[in-house]
Amino acid sequence: MASDVPMSPELEQIDGEIHDIFRALQNGFQKMDKIKDSNRQAKQLEDLTARMKECKRLIKEFDRILKDEESNNPPEVNKQLNDRKQYMIKELNSYVTLRKTYQSSLGNNKRVELFDMGTGSSEPAPEDNIQMASAMSNQQLVDAGREQMNQTDQAIDRSKMVVAQTIEVGTQTATALTQQTDQMKRIGNELDSVHFSLKKASKLVKEIGRQVATDKCIMALLFLIVCGVIAIIVVKIANPHNKNIRDIPGLAPPAQNFQISNRRLLSAETFRGF
């Protein structure tokens, strides 16, 4: 059966290996009829049994990868891949039945464990404890189906719990993001207020600076005027007869004022004598 089902590279590789094993099993069982020696037939049967073990392992790997990729594939592709898997199982079952037929004809009382993957142990590994469909009774099939359904229900319940937890985490995250967004808006408004206050403060500082500069200029001018007045007074007192220096209104040399006062007194006394 050539596979025309779209597969991933991993599934395609496993499918090719299984196809090669089926071809080898077909050729091997055809050779069994040509072998007359019972020992050689037993050896050939053991070799075919080993190939069937490997084929079962590959089918399990195929099923595992198929389940991992099931959510990424369309429903029709998943159905085709499942049909392909069922074909592999049926094909392997036919070779298992054929092996049992040859084993009975050989009268080999030695048990050949097809699915015993362990060594030195009489019990098969837990994952290999699953019998193929052809070797199971109806009751075993029903029990296996129920067990599989229970496992599926448990997996669905776990998935629902994960979805519920994811929704809860998403809700909490959305609430936190909303709160942070509101906080960022408030911070932006506060930054605008601070920027406006800084601009106002900058203007006020500039105005104060201009007023201080004006006050300094006025103080310097007053200081120069006072210094000039003091200088004139000092010079006038030190040299009262210097005509180059004009008298300051309201200020006269002390000596000159004294002489004028004496003259006025003498004139008054003279008039009184007459």
- pLDDT at residue 253 is higher than 60: no
pLDDT of 137 reads 61
What's the whole-model pTM score? 0.39
Mean of all residue pLDDT scores within the chain: 77
pLDDT of 242 reads 61
pLDDT of 123 reads 40
Question: 154 or 122: whose pLDDT is higher?
Answer: 154
pLDDT of 58 reads 92
Average pLDDT over residues 8-35: 87
- pLDDT at residue 259 is higher than 70: no
Q: Using one digit for the tens of pLDDT, what is the confidence trace for 186-218?
A: 898 888 888 888 888 888 888 888 888 888 888
Question: 267 or 80: whose pLDDT is higher?
Answer: 80
Question: 50 or 273: whose pLDDT is higher?
Answer: 50
Q: Using one digit for the tens of pLDDT, what is the confidence trace for 104-133?
A: 777 643 444 444 444 433 344 444 444 444
Q: Give residue 134's pLDDT band: very low, low, confident or very high (50, 70, 90).
A: very low
Distance CA 126, CA 40 (A): 32
Three-state secondary structure string covering the chain: CCCCCCCCHHHHHHHHHHHHHHHHHHHHHHHHCCCCCHHHHHHHHHHHHHHHHHHHHHHHHHHHHHHHHHHHCCHHHHHHHHHHHHHHHHHHHHHHHHHHHHHHHHCCCCCCCCCCCCCCCCCCCHHHCCCCHHHCCHHHHHHHHHHHHHHHHHHHHHHHHHHHHHHHHHHHHHHHHHHHHHHHHHHHHHHHHHHHHHHHHHHHHHHHHHHHHHHHHHHHHHHHHHHHHHHHHHHHHHCCCCCCCCCCCCCCCHHHHHHHHHHHHHHHHHHHHC
Q: Give residue 3's pLDDT band: very low, low, confident or very high (50, 70, 90).
A: low
pLDDT of 66 reads 86
Name, of 22-36, 102-116, 232-246, the range with top average pLDDT: 22-36
pLDDT of 221 reads 87
CB 96, CB 132: distance < 8 Å: yes
Q: Give residue 263's pLDDT band: very low, low, confident or very high (50, 70, 90).
A: low
- pLDDT at residue 100 is higher than 60: yes
Question: 138 or 220: whose pLDDT is higher?
Answer: 220
